[in-house]
Amino acid sequence: MSVRQFTDELLDAARAAAYDDVAEALSVLARADSTPVPAAVVGELVDRCATAVGTHHRTDADAAYTVIVVDERGQLTEVERLPPGPRSAMRALLAALNHDTASREIHVELATCGTPADIVDVLAHLLVWIAELSKPSAAALPALSCFPD
């Protein structure tokens, strides 16, 4: 099965609220013997998030994307307050949006270098972000959820 097919099935299961299937797939993926496998899936999900952003917010090719991080009270905070894996995934997404392939690859690798539980955390964040970005909305981009450790 290709990475694209796997992510298609994973996203279909998430959209269908088949959470047991999603949990099982994430568990198997996080325990994969090969680091490139989770990294390939994270990279695919990052690219899908970037594509979803593009459907919400079209800008000229020279525009730069940035992120504003707020805490659970809606107060501005530092990106370093995010858990390491999701922080790397967020940076990979920003790199993808800003067409910085080398940085995207570095941050995808960093997002998948933790424990199996850390990798599940990253994958869960990316699935939630895709769901949030896929909702039809006004011209503004939706806030992306981040969950503390």
Q: What are the boundaries of each domain within the chain?
A: 3-134
The tens place of each residue's pLDDT in the chain, 149 residues long, gives 788 999 999 999 998 989 999 999 988 888 777 778 889 999 999 999 998 887 766 666 667 777 777 777 777 777 788 889 999 999 999 999 889 999 999 999 999 998 888 999 999 989 988 888 877 664 566 666 666 55
Contact by Cβ (8 Å): 41, 92: no
**3-state SS track over the chain:** CCHHHHHHHHHHHHHCCCHHHHHHHHHHHHCCCCCHHHHHHHHHHHHHHHHHHHHHCCCCCCCCCCCCEECCCCCEECHHHCCHHHHHHHHHHHHHHCCCHHHHHHHHHHHCCCCHHHHHHHHHHHHHHHHHHHCCCCCCCCCCCCCCC
Contact by Cβ (8 Å): 116, 124: no
Q: What is the pTM of this model?
A: 0.85
